[in-house]
Amino acid sequence: MRNSLFELMNRQELISQIQQKKSFLCIGLDVDLSKIPTHLLAEKDPIFEFNKQIIDATHHLAVAYKPNTAFYEAYGIKGWQALEKTINYMNVNYPELFTIADAKRGDIGNTSTMYAKAFFEDLNFDSVTVAPYMGSDSVEPFLAFENKNTILLALTSNKGGLDFQGLKTENEELYKRVLKTALTWKNSNNLMFVVGATKAEYFSEIRKIIPNHFLLVPGVGAQGGNLQDVCKYGLNKDCGLLINSSRGIIYAGNNENFAKAAQKEAKKLQQEMEIILNENS
Ligand SMILES: O=c1ccn([C@@H]2O[C@H](COP(=O)(O)O)[C@@H](O)[C@H]2O)c(=O)[nH]1
């Protein structure tokens, strides 16, 4: 199950999917064994079984899926195998979906290359999240992969995000410096950026610097971010947003009907998105 078997994801395919599904929803697959329905624990691979049922029930409502690798690494080899089965399942059965490994990597150049190979070549994700703290030579190895996206942390959703990202450097906040500097890097057209939904008041400033790039926006749902507020200043002519909700969707139910409950929550967000897209078309 490697690159050549699948149509490679690019920006245009993502935009077409948004238009067809009238959705810019990304569902976070953050599987915690203590939160999934107990009947699944009898399965050989409970994590994969949970993901499979969530994906099957919601793939028509979402354009992207984002497993956060921490939730797989925490279970050792079995967790990593479940992650591999999950990405393969999506690539084989729903190749139109945009897949995001939320791994927040980034290291010296040769190490970043190995991280990029792990997520882009071995696992065949469309994109991976990367931290900008180590600078250009830590990110460019990811950007070197054609038809793959590197999603750089810019302004994160957590409260402590502003501890550093909000610091003024030469009269502008560090997150703005990150955005501007990243645009100068080789293959910067392969970049997307993480901006938290809890920071909605920053979107208009951010769009002045990066009017065209896609933004991955976590923080709607469990963290209290508001979809309408984000869209007011974050949308661009191609939509340009992937709104993530993890716990708010995948743990909507915790019995045999969990996938239906997740579908219901995903549908609520998709319907809100459809209205927003129509209003902005
Ligand atoms: O700024 C950030 C960057 C990443 N995340 C991740 O997104 C999901 C959010 O999960 P919810 O359950 O919808 O709150 C999770 O994987 C985070 O690690 C983020 O929240 N904020």
- Interval 30-47: pLDDT, tens: 999 999 999 999 999 999
- Domain tally, the chain: 1
3 domain-assigned: no
Q: How far apart are CA 155 and CA 178, in angstroms?
A: 9
CATH value at residue 174? 3.20.20.70
Our answer on whether the CB atom of 156 is closer than 6 Å to any ligand 1 atom is yes
Residue 4 placed within a domain: no
Q: Which atom of ligand 1 is the closest one to the Cα of 66?
A: 16
For atom 10 of ligand 1, which residue has the closest CA?
Answer: 246
At residue 243, does pLDDT exceed 60?
yes
**Is 67 close to ligand 1, i.e. is its CB under 6 Å away?**
no
User: From CA 125, how far away is CA 22, in angstroms rounded?
Assistant: 23
Question: β-pairing, 168-169 with 127-130?
Answer: unpaired
- How many Å is the Cα radius of gyration of the chain? 18
104 in active site: yes
Among the options 22, 78, 85, 104, which is catalytic? 104
**C-alpha of residue 5 to centroid of ligand 1, in Å:** 31
What are the structure tokens assigned to 129, written together? 């999240």
Token pair for residue 239?
């939509």
The DSSP H or E segment spanning 64 is: strand 64-66
Is the Cβ atom of 165 under 6 angstroms away from ligand 1?
no
Q: What is the structure's pLDDT at 10?
A: 84
Which residue in 88, 86, 78 sits closest to 124, CA to CA?
Answer: 88
Distance of CA 80 to the CA centre of its chain: 18
Tell which residue, 168, 167, 235, 234, has the closest CA to residue 199: 234
For the chain, give the mean pLDDT: 96
Q: Please report where in the chains the tokens 């927040």 appear, as a residue.
A: 104
C-alpha 73: how far from its chain's center? Answer: 17
Structural domain span for residue 61: 11-279
Output the residue whose Cα is nearest ligand 1's atom 4: 218
Q: From atom 7 of ligand 1, which residue's Cα is the shortest distance away?
A: 218
Mean pLDDT value across residues 15-36:
98
With a 6 Å cutoff on the Cβ, whether 177 touches ligand 1 is no
Residue 6 lies in a domain: no
Question: 0.90 exceeded by the pTM?
Answer: yes
pLDDT value at residue 9: 57
Q: How many CA atoms lie within 13 A of 32 on its CB side?
A: 8
| Main-chain phi, psi angles of 114, to 5 degrees | -70, -40
Report if residue 2 sits inside a domain.
no
Ligand 1: which of 66, 100, 102 to mutate, most ligand atoms within 8 Å of CB? 102
ipTM of this complex:
0.99
Q: What percent of the chain has pLDDT over 70?
A: 97
Say if 260 falls within a structural domain: yes
Within-domain flag for 1: no
What does the block give as tokens for 142?
A: 């990811």
Would 120 be classed as within a structural domain?
yes
82 within 8 A of 51, measured Cβ to Cβ: yes
The answer to whether the CB of 157 is under 6 A from ligand 1 is yes
Phi/psi for 26 (5° steps) reads -115, 130
Ligand 1 center to 199 CA (angstroms): 13
pLDDT recorded at residue 1: 33
Return the closest-CA partner of residue 62 out of 281, 279, 248, 255. 248
Tell me what pLDDT residue 8 has. 46
Q: Does any domain span residue 59?
A: yes
State yes or no: pLDDT of 234 exceeds 50.
yes
Distance 30 CA to ligand 1 centre (A): 9
